[in-house]
Amino acid sequence: MNHDFSAFLMQTKTRVDQLLGEHLGSFSSSYAAVDSGIYLTRLQQAMHYSLINGGKRIRPVLVYATAAAITTDVSPVVTANLDRIACSIEMIHAYSLIHDDLPAMDDDDLRRGQPTCHRAFDEATAILAGDALQARAFELLTELTECPPHIHLNLLRILTQASGQRGMVGGQLIDLESVDKPIDVQQLETIHRLKTGALIRASIAMGATLTGADRQQLEQLDCYGDAIGLAFQVHDDILDIEADTATLGKTQGADIALNKPTYPSLLGIDGAKAKAAQLHQQSLTAIEHFDANALLLRELSGYIISRSH
Helix (H, G, I), strand (E, B) or coil at 205: helix
The whole-angstrom separation of Cα 178 and Cα 188 is 9
10-residue stretch averages of pLDDT, the chain, 309 residues long: 83 94 77 61 92 90 97 93 98 97 92 92 96 96 96 97 96 91 92 96 98 97 98 93 66 62 92 96 97 96 89
Sign of the alpha-carbon dihedral angle for 258, 167, 44, 21 = positive
Helix (H, G, I), strand (E, B) or coil at 143: coil
Nearest partner of 98 among 161, 166, 31, 48, judged by Cα: 48
pLDDT at 91: 97
Provide the greatest CA pair distance for the chain.
Answer: 61
H/E element, 71: none
CA angle 72/78/80 to nearest 5° reads 125
The whole-angstrom separation of Cα 309 and Cα 249 is 8
The whole-angstrom separation of Cα 178 and Cα 167 is 17
- What is the number of residues in the chain? 309
pLDDT at 53: 81
Residue type, 50: S
Helix (H, G, I), strand (E, B) or coil at 45: helix
Domains of the chain: 8-21+37-304 (1.10.600.10)
H/E element, 111: strand 110-111
Confidence (pTM): 0.92
pLDDT at 254: 61
